[in-house]
Homo-oligomer: A and B are copies of this chain.
């Protein structure tokens, strides 16, 4: 665990890949992960957990079956457990994810966008 504060946007200087979340801090069993998003992610769900998205820079659309939400920078949204969703970022977007340890980014969907689990920056 870092014993100094982490500047979230500056931390992106060490993360160039998109769709590849990196843990920057942990609170109990909950991970704070930064991620660059660009383009369309795969439809997926997390059967066992909610998942929080905080947009740090840019904007993000989270498609839900039959609806969607649009997040601007500074906005927080929680995708409830079991709800199928697909993040879509027209331009590159920087987000903070907050979710328990062990969450696979693609949920049960798998595929080439699946990233290593709980990889620290």
Contact = CB atoms under 8 A, between A and B. Distances in A.
Interface of A: 1-10, 24-28, 30, 32, 49-52, 54, 56, 69-72, 74-78, 80-81, 98-100
A100 to B, nearest CB: 7
Q: Is the interface of A mostly helix, strand, loop or mixed?
A: strand
Contacts of A27: 30, 49-52, 78, 98-99
Contacts of A8: 54, 74-76
A96 to B, nearest CB: 8
22 contacts: A1-B78, A1-B80, A2-B77, A5-B71, A5-B76, A5-B77, A7-B72, A7-B74, A8-B75, A8-B76, A10-B74, A25-B76, A25-B77, A26-B50, A27-B78, A27-B99, A28-B49, A30-B30, A30-B98, A32-B52, A32-B98, A98-B98
Contacts of A77: 2, 4-6, 25
Contact of A32 (B49, B76, B80): B76
Contact of A75 (B5, B30, B69, B78): B5
Nearest to A51: B27
A55 B78 CA distance: 20
